[in-house]
């Protein structure tokens, strides 16, 4: 054990799952006596929580590892940890040879290797018994890291780890391991503890979140879990992500429609609007299946935002096939499109068996076309909110403006001198843009914080 105050720095890339893992790690490190440090080169411990879903993300890791190597040369006492999908469930041995200056490698959502390393090397300042160590590693009753305490309005809660679907383009199953649902008591304890610490909105997350419970005993599913989460005091809003079209049951949709805290916001990746491409991606549904699901959603949740993910330039995608995707976006008028150019990933079926034969220029042309179209769609959709009053949860202050979201996940900016953080407020929309709305408070007198 050391007497001197130790500092940690966590670099987080990628998805909500990584955000959740970093938050948990921060909390664990603080229990070992570490304090947060904004500058990595000043920290005693630096952890990089990585993403490799596309090559572009992976390239950033090499750049940052280079600067960490330099920092460690200057300060050999520094501990460096590498976590997340770059490490995955089986790349650690290979990476140890390539990056000998890294002290610890951790797969996604499992910080035990680092905690054990710090413990064995006496790199902590709070005395902990063995028993407490074990509790610490498995702790689901989580205390927010110092910097988020009192100001975290949103919380991501992993409910399904890993993925067993194996879409041909996707590296996630190889790096996050097979699908595992967390026990419902762990999830509910975690959500309750977040709500007790002031969190107003939770997002339950998983690669195919609607498959929650499939691998557990009994028939408790996502709809049942949502009902229990909806009953937790202090929470205002509940969302979940990501849905797979094949697993969105009517029971789930009816539950979202019925429960008061459930937001009318669904994330349902389509990936492509052409059957041949969908088949090559091994997504497990056709365009017609997706259209039927779209109808089922709109029938039960007419005002729900349906957000989607699309990949352009998948191996073999012809211009005609791409136009099917383009036309489908035009027809369905999604509320958000997360758009990506296909990026070949190691060990995936697409990498092993298909040729990445759409040029980058062509991928970029297709990406821009959908991007433009989507901007036009949103310009139109958002106009209807002009002068309407919407309920907004205020999430953060960015520059001089408060930033919040509607239940259907539209971004809204408000200028107001007072402290609005974490409040659910009626806001009148005064201006609309494709990617945000602007508004002002309707009732300026009812403010909890002031
Ligand atoms: N589990 C979710 C999403 C996982 S990753 C699903 O079932 O769809 C988030 C998004 O990244 C994916 O929806 C996909 O659009 C994109 N993505 C994944 N692998 C990719 C690749 N190799 N190239 C480009 N985009 C990719």
Q: Note down pLDDT in tens along the chain; length 450 residues.
A: 566 899 999 999 999 999 999 999 999 999 889 999 999 999 999 999 999 999 999 999 999 999 999 999 999 999 999 999 999 999 999 999 999 999 999 999 999 999 999 988 989 887 776 667 666 666 655 789 999 999 999 999 999 999 999 899 999 999 999 999 999 999 999 999 999 999 999 999 999 999 999 999 999 999 999 999 999 999 999 999 999 999 999 999 999 999 999 999 999 999 999 999 999 999 999 999 999 999 999 999 999 999 999 999 999 999 999 999 999 999 999 999 999 999 999 999 999 999 999 999 999 999 999 999 999 999 999 999 999 999 999 999 999 999 999 999 999 999 999 999 999 999 999 999 999 999 999 976 556 565
CATH number of the domain where residue 321 is located: 3.30.750.200
Residue 308 near ligand 1, beta carbon < 6 Å = no
Q: Which residues contact 319 (CB under 8 A, 6 or more apart)?
A: none
CATH number of the domain where residue 221 is located: 3.30.750.210
Domain closes at, from 114, 139, 164: 139
For ligand 1, pick from 309, 338, 341, 363 the residue to mutate: most ligand atoms within 8 Å of CB. 309
Ligand 1 atom index nearest CA of 343: 23
**DSSP designation for 310:** E
CB 93 within 8 A of CB 99: no
The answer as to whether 201 is a domain residue is yes
Q: How far apart, in whole angstroms, are the C-alpha atoms of residue 286 and residue 324?
A: 12
Rounded CA Rg of the chain = 23
Q: How far apart, in whole angstroms, are the C-alpha atoms of residue 421 and residue 402?
A: 8
Domain with 210, as residue range(s), is: 152-263
312 & 437 share domain = no
Report CA torsion sign: 249, 251, 254, 258: negative
Ligand 1 centroid from CA 54, angstroms: 9
For ligand 1, pick from 280, 311, 334 the residue to mutate: most ligand atoms within 8 Å of CB. 311
CA end-to-end span of the chain, whole Å? Answer: 44
The answer as to whether 94 is a domain residue is yes
Ligand 1 atom index nearest CA of 163: 1
Residue 241 near ligand 1, beta carbon < 6 Å = no
> Would you give the distance in Å from CA 17 to the centre of its chain?
5
370 & 390 share domain = no
14 conformational bin, left if phi > 0, alpha if psi -120 to 50, beta if neither: left
Q: Structural domain tally of the chain?
A: 4
Per-residue buried b or exposed e for 232-271, using 16+ beta carbons within 10 Å of the residue's own CB: beebbbbbbbbbbbbbbeeebbebbeebebbbbbbbbbbb
Share of the chain above pLDDT 90, in %: 91
126 & 18 share domain = yes
Residue 173 near ligand 1, beta carbon < 6 Å = no
Q: pLDDT (tens digit, 9 = 90+) per residue, 184-242? A: 999 999 999 999 999 999 999 999 999 999 999 999 999 999 999 999 999 999 999 99
Residue 326 near ligand 1, beta carbon < 6 Å = no
Domain closes at, from 383, 402, 433: 383
165 & 242 share domain = yes
User: Can you tell me whether residue 209 is helix, strand or coil?
Assistant: helix
Reading the block at residue 160, the tokens are 């399904």
Ligand 1 atom index nearest CA of 338: 15
340 & 351 share domain = yes
Q: How far apart, in whole angstroms, are the C-alpha atoms of residue 403 and residue 388?
A: 18
311 & 367 share domain = yes
Q: How far apart, in whole angstroms, are the C-alpha atoms of residue 450 and residue 445?
A: 10
Q: What is the pLDDT of residue 14?
A: 96
10 & 93 share domain = yes
12 & 133 share domain = yes
Alpha helices (H) in 32-168, listed in sequence order:
55-74, 92-98, 112-120, 130-138
Residue 261 near ligand 1, beta carbon < 6 Å = no
The answer as to whether 92 is a domain residue is yes
Residue 23 near ligand 1, beta carbon < 6 Å = no
The answer as to whether 38 is a domain residue is yes
Residue 340 near ligand 1, beta carbon < 6 Å = yes
396 & 367 share domain = no
Tokens 């609005």, residue?
Answer: 420
Instruction: Report the greatest alpha carbon distance in the chain.
Output: 67
342 & 404 share domain = no
379 & 397 share domain = no
130 & 162 share domain = no
CB 68 within 8 A of CB 100: no
The answer as to whether 246 is a domain residue is yes
Nearest residue by C-alpha to atom 8 in ligand 1: 269
Dihedral (Cα; 57, 163, 138, 48), 10-degree rounding: -10
Ligand 1 centroid from CA 375, angstroms: 21
Domain closes at, from 244, 263, 282: 263
The answer as to whether 274 is a domain residue is no
Q: Which residues contact 309 (CB under 8 A, 6 or more apart)?
A: 242, 267, 269, 270, 271, 337, 338, 339, 340
CATH number of the domain where residue 27 is located: 3.40.50.12160
Ligand 1 centroid from CA 350, angstroms: 13
Share of the chain above pLDDT 70, in %: 95
The answer as to whether 291 is a domain residue is no
Q: Which residues contact 161 (CB under 8 A, 6 or more apart)?
A: 17, 108, 109, 176, 177, 179, 180, 181, 182, 206
The answer as to whether 278 is a domain residue is no
């Amino acid at each position: 054990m050391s007497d001197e105050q130790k500092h940690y720095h966590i670099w987080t890339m990628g998805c909500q799952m990584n955000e959740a893992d970093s938050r948990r790690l921060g909390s664990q490190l603080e229990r070992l006596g570490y304090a947060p440090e904004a500058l990595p080169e000043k920290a005693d411990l630096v952890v990089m929580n990585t993403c490799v879903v596309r090559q572009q993300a992976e390239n950033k890791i090499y750049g940052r590892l280079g600067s960490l190597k330099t920092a460690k040369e200057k300060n050999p006492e520094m501990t460096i940890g590498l976590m997340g999908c770059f490490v995955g469930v089986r790349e650690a041995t290979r990476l140890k040879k390539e990056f000998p200056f890294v002290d610890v490698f951790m797969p996604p959502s499992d910080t035990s290797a680092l905690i054990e390393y710090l413990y064995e090397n006496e790199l902590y300042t709070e005395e902990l018994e063995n028993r407490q160590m074990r509790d610490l590693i498995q702790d689901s009753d989580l205390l927010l890291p110092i910097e988020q305490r009192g100001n975290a309005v949103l919380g991501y809660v992993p409910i399904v780890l890993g993925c067993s679907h194996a879409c041909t383009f996707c590296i996630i199953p190889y790096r996050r391991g097979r699908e595992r649902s967390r026990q419902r008591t762990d999830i509910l304890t975690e959500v309750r503890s977040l709500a007790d610490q002031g969190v107003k909105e939770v997002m339950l997350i998983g690669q195919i979140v609607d498959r929650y419970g499939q691998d557990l005993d009994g028939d408790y599913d996502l709809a049942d879990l949502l009902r229990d989460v909806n009953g937790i005091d202090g929470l205002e809003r509940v969302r979940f992500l990501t849905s797979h079209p094949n697993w969105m049951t009517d029971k789930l949709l009816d539950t979202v429609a019925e429960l008061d805290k459930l937001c009318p916001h669904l994330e349902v990746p389509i990936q492509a609007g052409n059957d041949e491409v969908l088949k090559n991606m091994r997504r497990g549904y056709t365009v017609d299946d997706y259209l039927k699901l779209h109808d089922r959603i709109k029938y039960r949740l007419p005002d729900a935002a349906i957000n989607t993910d699309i990949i352009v330039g998948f191996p073999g995608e012809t211009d005609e096939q791409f136009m099917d995707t383009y036309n489908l976006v035009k027809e369905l008028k999604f509320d958000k499109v997360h758009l990506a150019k296909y990026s070949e990933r190691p060990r995936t079926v697409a990498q092993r068996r298909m040729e990445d034969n759409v040029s980058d220029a062509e991928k970029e042309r297709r990406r821009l076309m959908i991007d433009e179209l989507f901007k036009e769609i949103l310009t139109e959709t958002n106009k209807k909110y002009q002068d309407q009053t919407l309920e907004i949860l205020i999430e953060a202050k960015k520059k001089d403006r408060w930033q919040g979201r509607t239940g259907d996940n539209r971004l809204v900016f408000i200028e107001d001198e007072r402290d609005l953080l974490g409040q659910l407020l009626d806001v009148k929309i005064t201006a609309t843009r494709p990617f945000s709305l602007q508004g002002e408070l309707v009732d300026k007198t009812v403010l909890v914080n002031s």
